[in-house]
Amino acid sequence: MSAQRVYVFPFRFGLSASELLAGEYLQSHLAAASLVSAGPCDLLQESVETIAVDNATMRTRPEVVYNEFFARLRSLTTRPDIVVVDLMQGFPIARGVPLIHLAHAIDTACNEENAPKYILAVDALPPEADPVSKILNDRIASGSVVVLSKDGGVRSATELGSVQAYKLKLMAFSLSPAERLELKLVRSLGHFKRKSSAGEHYRCCRHFYDARFCIDELTQLLKSFVREKFGTGRQPVIIYDAPISQWFVDFILTYGQRTGGTVLRYDAFLRAARRHEGEPVLLVLPMVQSGRRLAQVLSVLDPRTTNSSVTILTILTDRADRPQEKTRRLVNAGRPWDIHYFLQVRAQPYQPENCRLCQLGIPESFPAKTDGPLMLRTIDFWDIVDEAGWKLEENVPEYRNPLGAVPDFPVIVEKNGPWLATKIQSLLDLLPGGYPQDPVIVCPREKGSLVLGELLKGFLQKVTVITVPRSVINMARERQLDLSDFDRDRQDWFVQLSTLTCDDVIIIDEFNASGETRVGLMRLLQLFEKRVLSYLSIVDWNPKQSGVSGAICYSLYDFQGYEVSV
Amino acid sequence: MGSVDRLREDRELSCRVLADLITHAPSTYPNLRLLLRDFQTKAEGLPAGAVSPFIPSILSRLLSKEDSRFVDLLTRGRPRLGGETRNRPKFDVAVISVINEELLASKIVFGVPLDKDEDYNIGGYRYWRTLLTRKGGKTLDIVLTMAGERNVQCAIACERLFTNFNLGCCFLVGIAGGHKKYVKLGDVIAS
């Protein structure tokens, strides 16, 4: 049996620039094609440029998707046996109409003589009633089209091989929900005062954890937990108690809606306890630290649930007795309770009388409010610097002296990424015209900026990140860059910038010192006729110069720390 | 509230936090200079009364004799922002004055020609070197400089002085007031 010839058409909805795909990513599509064809396959591309469709186009001219599909199909020099239409890395938000156009394009293409088989790879299977399903159902039934999803979902006329789930997971490059929860959890620094229901201030905390970006992960984790502890039989009544964590309320109510289970607030359950007598109870909490609040809850709940088994689950905990089993023990009124948890985190509590933050007069922070400064507070900045550590500056531009010891920015981003991303988003909201519809970020191809770029890509969504090698920035800074030199070998940054559909970009960098990187990138972007909306750095060591640079400069922290070497 | 107010926290609070960080920084802190620079930036534009309460603790931290390890680290030079570790000139005595009239007086006393250019200009701070011959023929190497008015400026100038030179001792010299019952014009007071 000869190998099936495979092409990949990677569409990227919500992104403004194309990027080059190669290597393992394309190989995962090849694995999917092999599963579908049940035979050997050959990929006819070593690399492929993505088809970027930005948000403005999706809203005003969604039919572009149809045309782009056929343009790519007509450009093929060899007739394919399988075409993988890849939508896995795009953004599901508001993609409805463009996806319908794409489904129509596939449907039309199936009518052609010797039409290839199409694999539509999406992040989630469209519901049966979705127009996309209605358009493609006949094609799926005839075997012309197979729809695959990131989480292993399949819509196909025939059974695929038994290894499909494994292969599809490989294809999605996905982490486990618990790993994603750890990565996406927002750890805010502040001065959070814990108070009892009587208003007694009994503890201060340095951190507040917010899982607002993790609703899907938490839903998956809780579903698995319920399945493991309660089986598929009688489902528990879920009770929640969250006096300050709005993210948790949002999550647990979403969970209730998605699963159709009974989810009640703690006080509401107490009023209706008799109605649920004998039913298993699952008490879910956002965070357990000392267990003081939980003990209060249990002292009221325990006498009302004498005929029910109560299981306790907390999303987060600051300590664990049996980390392998993800449980900790709490003894309340002589009765031991096992508390299950999803993730252990660091809390850094202070007694009020010894609280460093109270002594310094740091104002109280409120998790649900956003009235604090948009930039980092002094104590927060220097605390995260201390936590991350220092290192000698790397990738020193040749036009200035080394700065010596600088904070370890990649580690800062790694430890505080989601929080910094929310801060950066707030700063970008200040731009004239507000947060860009299609944010495009250009940064130097260096570790700190790359980590920051990936972070923004992951959290702010709809963000296109273009990384530019230092040598190119230097040439642009010295006005010695000839774009025609790069047109020949089509490096990825060149492809992205030359196919960028929007005119406005944001430059980011881990820190600003001499301002020359900013000058180099601004000159480079001028060559591509792009406008710099803003220059954004984690730290600006040279705010006086940034103020006269001609760009709107934002940073998460700034002070005049840079001087010309003496 | 304007966007500038929304961006940053209150500068006085920043100064308070930085003074605390500087005062309690361990002797092995990698880059105390940056904390000082931050303090200087945040203190700019604040009234003297808002900043001066923090100065004694910062100065005592910089000048503490007990903490010789820190002073050693600071003055011997480490990787630092904007500069490289260098061999620092050694002086037996440093004389700091606050205002120009005091600097001129110091120059006259120590025999530095008033029209002589400075011997070192480091980060905008000017330094003049001179020699004083003692009884018995031994000499003292002396460096003169001016710190400028205001406590923050003075603290920064001191820190620069200690970083850039290897000093035996340091005197702040200048005009002082006093009770006419105990002192008269022209007296020299040492405290």
Among the partner-chain residues A361, A559, A566, the one whose CB lies closest to the CB of B13 is: A361
Position B118 in a domain: yes
β partners of residue A322: A327
- Residue A288 binned pLDDT confidence (cut-offs 50, 70, 90): very high
pLDDT at A123: 77
pLDDT at B64: 54
* Chosen from B14, B17, B86 to mutate, greatest number of chain A CBs within 10 A: B17
Highest mean pLDDT of the ranges A200-204, A445-449, A531-535, B116-120 = A531-535
Q: Is the dihedral of CA A118, A124, A125, A131 positive or negative?
A: negative
Counting beta carbons within 10 angstroms of the beta carbon of residue A233, is it exposed (0 to 12), middle (13 to 18) or buried (19 or more)? Answer: exposed
CB spacing of A362 vs B13 below 8 angstroms: yes
pLDDT tens digits, A60-100: 888 899 999 999 999 988 889 999 999 876 554 445 788 89
Lowest mean pLDDT among A136-145, A187-196, A350-359, A386-395: A386-395
Q: In chain A, what residues touch B40 (CB-CB under 8 Å)?
A: 559-560
Range of the domain at A257: 180-350
Among the partner-chain residues A372, A430, A561, the one whose CB lies closest to the CB of B34 is: A561
Among the partner-chain residues B7, B37, B123, the one whose CB lies closest to the CB of A374 is: B7
Query: Which residue type occupies B40?
Result: Q
pLDDT tens digits, A231-255: 877 789 999 988 778 899 999 998 9
Comparison of pLDDT for A158 and A212, the residue scoring more: A212
Lowest mean pLDDT among A5-9, A399-403, A423-427, A549-553: A399-403
Calculate the average pLDDT of chain B: 78
Position B126 in a domain: yes
pLDDT at residue B171 tops 50: yes
Give yes or no: residues A169 and A193 share one domain: no
Task: Give how far B104 is from chain A: nearest CA, Å.
Answer: 25
CATH number at residue B121: 3.40.50.1580
Give yes or no: residues B98 and B73 share one domain: no
pLDDT at B83: 38
Position B142 in a domain: yes
Number of Cα atoms under 13 Å in the Cβ half of residue A126: 23
Position B184 in a domain: no
Last residue of a domain, one of A159, A174, A189: A174
CB spacing of B14 vs A372 below 8 angstroms: no
Q: Which residue of A has its CA nearest to B25?
A: A386
Position B59 in a domain: yes
CB spacing of B6 vs A373 below 8 angstroms: yes
Q: In chain B, what residues touch A560 (CB-CB under 8 Å)?
A: 37, 40-41
What gap in Å lies between CA A485 and CA A479, rounded to an integer? 14
Number of Cα atoms under 13 Å in the Cβ half of residue B49: 0
Which A residues 420-459 touch B at CB under 8 Å?
Answer: 430
CA-based R_g, chain A, Å: 27
Last residue of a domain, one of B85, B110, B130: B85
Q: Which residue of B has its CA nearest to A423?
A: B7
pLDDT at residue A160 tops 70: no
Q: In chain B, what residues touch A374 (CB-CB under 8 Å)?
A: 6-7
> What b/e readout covers A457-471, taking b as 16+ CB neighbours within 10 angstroms?
bbbbebbbbbbbebe
DSSP per-residue codes, A452-473: HHHHHHHHT-S-EEEEE-HHHH
The single-letter DSSP state of residue A214 is G
Q: In chain A, what residues touch B78 (CB-CB under 8 Å)?
A: 404-405
Q: Does A373 lie at the interface with B, CB-CB under 8 angstroms?
A: yes
Give yes or no: residues A108 and A184 share one domain: no
Give yes or no: residues A332 and A466 share one domain: no
pLDDT at residue A300 tops 70: yes
Give yes or no: residues B46 and B93 share one domain: no
Q: Which residue of B has its CA nearest to A514?
A: B82
pLDDT at A249: 93
What gap in Å lies between CA A548 and CA A515, rounded to an integer? 11
Position A454 in a domain: yes
Neighbouring CB atoms inside 10 A of B68's CB total 10
Last residue of a domain, one of B51, B70, B85: B85
pLDDT at residue B47 tops 60: yes
Q: What is the mean pLDDT of residues A306-334?
A: 89
pLDDT at A164: 43
pLDDT at residue A162 tops 80: no
pLDDT tens digits, B55-75: 777 877 776 544 444 444 444
Q: Which residue of A has its CA nearest to B80?
A: A404
Q: In chain B, what residues touch A372 (CB-CB under 8 Å)?
A: 9
Q: Which residue of B has its CA nearest to A557?
A: B8
> What b/e readout covers A269-293, taking b as 16+ CB neighbours within 10 angstroms?
beeebeebeeebbbbbbbbbbebeb
Position A299 in a domain: yes
Range of the domain at B72: 1-85
Last residue of a domain, one of B33, B67, B85: B85
Task: Give how far A55 is from chain B: nearest CA, Å.
Answer: 28
Among the partner-chain residues B7, B21, B83, the one whose CB lies closest to the CB of A375 is: B7
Position A434 in a domain: yes
What domain count does chain A have?
Answer: 3
Among the partner-chain residues A362, A373, A562, the one whose CB lies closest to the CB of B82 is: A562
Calculate the average pLDDT of chain A: 85
| Residues ≥6 apart with Cβ < 8 Å to A503 | A529, A530, A531
Give yes or no: residues A135 and A185 share one domain: no
CB spacing of A378 vs B41 below 8 angstroms: no
Q: Does A176 lie at the interface with B, CB-CB under 8 angstroms?
A: no
pLDDT tens digits, B132-164: 888 788 888 999 999 887 777 788 888 888 888
Position B156 in a domain: yes
Position B190 in a domain: no
Q: In chain A, what residues touch B81 (CB-CB under 8 Å)?
A: 403-406, 541, 561-563
| Residues ≥6 apart with Cβ < 8 Å to B137 | none
Give yes or no: residues B122 and B77 share one domain: no
CB spacing of A405 vs B79 below 8 angstroms: yes
- In this structure, what is the dihedral angle of CA atoms A343, A346, A351, A354, given to the nearest 10 degrees? 180
pLDDT at A370: 66
CB spacing of A404 vs B84 below 8 angstroms: yes
Query: Which pTM was predicted?
Result: 0.66
Last residue of a domain, one of A117, A139, A174: A174
pLDDT at A496: 87
pLDDT at B19: 92
Give yes or no: residues A326 and A451 share one domain: no
DSSP per-residue codes, A542-560: -HHHHTTSSS-EEEEEE--
Position B104 in a domain: yes
What domain count does chain B have?
Answer: 2
Give yes or no: residues A138 and A42 share one domain: yes
CATH number at residue A267: 3.40.50.2020
Among the partner-chain residues B6, B30, B81, the one whose CB lies closest to the CB of A561 is: B81
pLDDT at A91: 53
Query: Which residue type occupies A72?
Result: R
